[in-house]
C-alpha cells in the first residue's frame, strides 16, 4: 500500500470508526458500496460476536496469554456514552436500524433509525429476538440465570459429562456472572412486585408449584432504587432496550476482565458478511464497518489463523450456511439440524383480580418467580411470571413458557432470497399450545380472568422466540469441544451448540458450555 492510499484509508477507517459511534447521524452521505475503501489485515485469533460464548472465550484466551480481536456488529454502548432507553420512552437503543419499536407487543412508538440493542428476524411462523452490541444478549435479556434440571441436561446433552458440569462449570459461571437471588422480605413489601405476588398466589390456588428464579440483576442495588438512594433502572422500566444500572452485563464481568489483561481488542460496528476457508487453513472474513445509521463506511478483509464463531445461534448459522452456499467453506449435513425455540411460548391472562386490585401499576422489569410444572408427565413446562411494565394497572399477567421441543426444526440458506429459511411451523409448537391452554384454563377456572386476547392473537403467542438454540450441535456438527466438522481452526461457541432445548432460560448453560469448550480448545490447540 502506498503512503497516499494509506493516509486516505487511515482517515476513512480510523476516523470513521471513531466518529461512527458518536456522530453517525451527521454522516449520512458516504461513497456507494462498490467504492468503499478496503483494507487488509492479518490477525492471529478472531472471535465474531461479544455475547456469552464470545466473552468467555475471549477471557480465557487472554488469560492464557493470547491476543484476541473481537468483531461485533453492534455498538460499544459503554464507550459511546449514549444512555439506554426505557420501554415506555424508547430512543436510540430500542431497535436495530428500525424506525418503530420491535417489542413483542405495543409497538406504537417511533424511534430514530440507529444501531439499537434489540433486533428481530421475522420468519413466516416465527419471530426471533436478539441482542446487538458489546455484551450481546446480556444487554437486552431479563437476566434470569437458571440452572437446567440435571436429568433434562443429561437427556438433551448426553455427550457432556453432567457430573463435571454440575460440580465445576455451573458453579463457576454463577460466580463469574454475579448470580444472586432477591431477598424474600424485600420481595414481599416491594410495590413493584405485586404482579409476582399475584402470579404466585394464583398459581398456588390452581395447584401449581412456584420457584424463586435467580438473576444477574444486583438485587441489593434494586433495594436502594426502591429507597430512592440511587438512579432507578429495573424500577424505571428499563430492560429489553438495555439497563443503565443494576444489571451486571458481560461488559462488566467477562469482557471487562479480558480487557484488563491488555490482550483484548474489541472492534464494534464491524459486521462480518462472509467467511472463506483458505488453503493454509486460515480464514478470511469480509467485514463491513458501519456507522450508527447502519451506513457502510469501509470494508475490511481480515485473515485469522484461528476463528471462533460466537455470533449467537442465528448469527452463526447465517454466516456458516451463507458462506457454504457461496462455496467459501465446507460444512457437513449436520449443520442447521436440531434447531429449536427452547419451547418458548408466550401467553397471558387478562382481567386478573380486575375488581380487587389487579397486578399493580408499577412493575419491576426483572422477573423473580416461575411456575415449575416440569415433572407433570402430561403437561411438562416451566413458565416465568413476567412483568408488564406499561405504567398502568392492566390487570394482566404475562407468562413466557418454556416447553420441551418434541419436534425440532431445521435451518437452511436460500440462495435466491439471500436469507435463512426456517423450517418451523405450527406442528412444531402444537404440544406447547396444549400446555399453554391447559395452564391458562386451570388458572382461570380457579382464579377468574380470561385468555390474553388483548395482547396476543387468540390469546397465545406461538411465534415469540427469545431463545433460539441449536443448528451447530456439539458432538454432531462439531467435535466434543465445538470445533466445526471438517475444519482445524474454526470453532463454534454459542447457543447453536445446544440442541434446540434446555428446559430453562439458556444463558447460564451457554456460558457453562463455553467455559468447557474453550478450556479444552486451549489445552489441545493453543499449546
Q: How does DSSP classify residue 346?
A: E
Among 62, 72, 290, 413, binds ligand FAE (CB under 6 A): 72
Are 66 and 527 a contacting pair, CB within 8 Å?
no
Binding region for ligand FAE (CB under 6 A) out of 141-149, 327-335, 421-429, 456-464: 141-149
- Alpha carbon distance 128, 133 (integer Å): 17
Among 13, 24, 37, 49, binds ligand FAE (CB under 6 A): 49
Question: Is residue 140 at the binding interface for ligand FAE, with CB under 6 A as the rule?
Answer: yes
Q: Taking CB under 6 A as the criterion, which residues in 248-287 touch ligand FAE?
A: 271-272
CB atoms within 10 A of CB 35: 7
- Alpha carbon distance 268, 253 (integer Å): 18
Among 37, 90, 116, 142, binds ligand FAE (CB under 6 A): 142
Binding region for ligand FAE (CB under 6 A) out of 1-9, 39-47, 72-80, 218-226: 72-80
- Alpha carbon distance 473, 476 (integer Å): 5
Cell of 443: 388458572
CB atoms within 10 A of CB 375: 9
Question: Is residue 470 at the binding interface for ligand FAE, with CB under 6 A as the rule?
Answer: no
- Residue closer to ligand FAE by CB (options 74, 336) is 74
Question: Is residue 240 at the binding interface for ligand FAE, with CB under 6 A as the rule?
Answer: yes
Q: Residue 259 CB, nearest distance to ligand FAE (Å)?
A: 16
- Kindly give, in sequence order, each residue whose CB lies less than 8 Å from that of residue 480, ignoring residues fewer than 6 positions away: 159, 474, 520
Binding region for ligand FAE (CB under 6 A) out of 142-150, 154-162, 197-205, 420-428: 142-150
SS3 189: helix
Active-site position among 72, 200, 238, 384: 384
Q: Residue 104 CB, nearest distance to ligand FAE (Å)?
A: 8
Question: Is residue 473 at the binding interface for ligand FAE, with CB under 6 A as the rule?
Answer: no
In the residue annotation, 270 being an active-site residue is answered as: no
In the residue annotation, 176 being an active-site residue is answered as: no
- Residue closer to ligand FAE by CB (options 368, 395) is 368
The torsion angles phi and psi of 461, rounded to 5 degrees, stand at -105, 80
Are 499 and 156 a contacting pair, CB within 8 Å?
yes
DSSP 298-330: EEEEEEEEEEEE-SHHHHHHHHHHHHHHTTSS-
Are 396 and 350 a contacting pair, CB within 8 Å?
yes
Question: Is residue 73 at the binding interface for ligand FAE, with CB under 6 A as the rule?
Answer: yes
Catalytic center residues: 384, 467
Q: Residues interacting with ligand FAE, by CB under 6 A?
A: 48-53, 71-74, 129-133, 136-137, 140-144, 240, 271-272, 310-313, 315, 319, 466-467, 494-495, 505-507, 510
Amino acid at each position: 500500500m502506498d503512503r497516499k492510499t494509506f493516509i486516505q484509508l487511515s482517515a476513512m477507517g480510523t476516523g470513521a470508526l471513531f466518529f461512527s459511534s458518536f456522530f453517525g447521524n451527521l454522516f449520512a452521505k458516504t461513497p456507494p458500496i462498490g467504492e468503499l475503501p478496503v483494507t487488509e489485515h492479518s490477525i492471529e485469533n478472531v472471535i465474531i460476536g461479544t455475547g456469552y460464548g464470545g466473552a468467555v472465550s475471549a477471557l480465557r484466551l487472554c488469560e492464557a496469554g493470547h491476543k484476541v480481536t473481537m468483531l461485533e456488529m453492534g455498538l460499544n454502548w459503554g464507550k459511546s456514552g449514549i444512555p439506554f432507553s426505557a420501554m415506555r420512552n424508547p430512543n436510540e437503543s430500542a431497535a436495530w436500524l428500525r424506525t418503530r419499536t420491535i417489542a413483542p407487543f405495543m409497538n406504537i412508538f417511533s424511534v430514530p433509525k440507529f444501531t439499537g440493542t434489540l433486533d428481530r428476524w421475522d420468519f413466516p411462523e416465527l419471530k426471533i429476538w436478539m441482542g446487538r452490541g458489546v455484551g450481546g444478549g446480556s444487554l437486552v435479556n431479563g437476566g434470569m440465570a437458571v440452572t437446567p434440571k440435571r436429568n433434562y441436561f443429561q437427556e438433551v446433552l448426553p455427550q457432556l459429562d453432567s457430573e463435571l458440569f454440575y460440580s465445576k462449570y455451573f458453579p463457576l459461571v454463577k460466580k463469574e456472572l454475579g448470580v444472586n437471588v432477591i431477598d424474600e422480605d424485600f420481595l414481599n413489601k416491594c410495590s413493584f412486585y405485586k404482579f409476582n405476588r399475584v402470579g404466585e398466589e394464583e398459581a398456588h390456588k390452581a395447584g401449581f408449584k412456584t420457584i424463586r428464579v435467580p438473576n444477574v440483576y444486583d438485587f441489593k442495588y434494586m433495594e436502594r432504587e426502591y429507597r430512592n438512594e440511587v438512579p432507578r433502572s429495573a424500577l424505571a422500566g428499563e430492560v429489553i432496550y438495555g439497563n443503565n444500572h443494576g444489571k451486571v452485563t458481560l461488559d462488566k464481568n467477562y469482557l471487562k476482565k479480558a480487557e484488563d489483561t491488555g490482550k483484548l481488542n474489541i472492534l464494534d460496528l464491524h459486521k462480518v458478511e462472509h467467511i472463506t476457508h483458505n488453503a493454509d487453513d486460515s480464514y478470511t472474513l469480509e467485514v463491513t464497518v458501519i456507522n450508527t445509521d447502519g451506513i457502510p463506511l469501509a470494508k475490511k478483509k481480515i485473515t485469522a489463523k484461528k476463528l471462533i464463531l460466537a455470533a449467537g445461534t442465528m448469527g452463526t448459522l447465517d454466516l456458516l450456511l451463507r458462506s457454504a452456499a457461496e462455496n467459501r467453506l465446507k460444512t457437513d449435513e449436520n449443520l442447521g439440524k436440531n434447531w429449536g425455540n427452547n419451547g418458548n411460548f408466550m401467553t397471558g391472562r387478562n382481567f386478573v383480580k380486575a375488581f380487587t386490585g389487579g397486578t399493580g401499576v408499577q412493575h419491576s422489569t426483572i422477573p423473580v418467580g416461575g411456575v415449575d410444572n416440569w415433572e407433570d408427565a402430561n403437561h411438562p413446562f416451566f413458565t416465568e411470571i413476567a412483568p408488564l411494565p406499561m405504567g398502568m394497572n392492566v390487570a394482566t399477567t404475562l407468562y413466557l413458557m418454556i416447553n420441551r421441543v418434541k419436534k425440532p426444526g431445521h435451518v437452511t440458506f436460500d440462495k435466491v432470497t439471500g436469507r435463512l429459511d426456517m423450517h418451523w411451523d405450527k406442528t412444531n409448537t402444537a404440544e406447547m399450545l396444549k400446555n399453554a391452554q391447559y395452564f391458562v384454563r386451570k388458572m382461570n377456572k380457579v382464579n377468574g380472568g380470561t385468555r390474553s386476547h388483548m395482547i396476543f392473537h387468540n390469546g397465545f403467542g406461538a411465534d415469540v422466540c427469545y431463545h433460539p438454540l441449536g443448528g451447530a450441535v456439539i458432538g454432531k456438527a462439531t467435535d466434543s469441544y465445538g470445533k466445526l466438522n471438517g475444519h482445524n481452526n474454526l470453532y463454534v461457541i454459542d447457543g447453536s451448540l445446544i440442541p434446540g432445548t434446555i428446559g430453562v432460560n439458556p444463558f447460564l448453560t451457554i456460558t457453562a458450555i463455553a467455559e468447557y469448550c474453550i478450556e479444552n480448545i486451549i489445552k489441545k490447540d493453543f499449546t
